[in-house]
Amino acid sequence: MAIELDLPASEVHDMLDEYWALNELHELAFVYNEIKAYLSSFLKLFHCLKKHKMLSEKHITNILRYAGNDLPQLTDRVQCLTNDVIDLSGQKTLMLNSGIFVIIAG
């Protein structure tokens, strides 16, 4: 837009901030200034949430809860389970190659 108006980018940003202020979107201006260096990542997150129909208060609350509290434990748990799958897959291969079969009764 700055190119079309033949204005410096800083003046366009000031106009945008003023527009947001006039429309009582002060928090949007603040958040944009805080995240603008990471905007592409936020947009990827937004599109991912939208694609999976997770743009609701319920889903976002859960995501924030997981990210704020449970994410480190969930990450560790995923790693442990991944290691378990690798180990079990290796054991299965060894057993199949050696001709040992185990029947598990349910």
Residue with tokens 């990827």: 44
User: Per-domain residue ranges for the chain?
Assistant: 2-98
Q: What is the pLDDT of residues 2-11, one digit of tens each?
A: 457 778 888 8
Report whether pLDDT(89) > 70: yes
Tell me: the pLDDT tens digits for 21-68? Answer: 888 888 888 888 899 899 999 999 999 999 999 999 999 998 888 887
The separation between CA 3 and the C-alpha centre of its own chain, rounded to angstroms, equals: 33
Of 93 and 1, the structure prediction assigns the larger pLDDT to 93
Query: Structure pTM?
Result: 0.51
pLDDT at 96: 84
Cβ atoms < 10 Å from Cβ of 86? 10
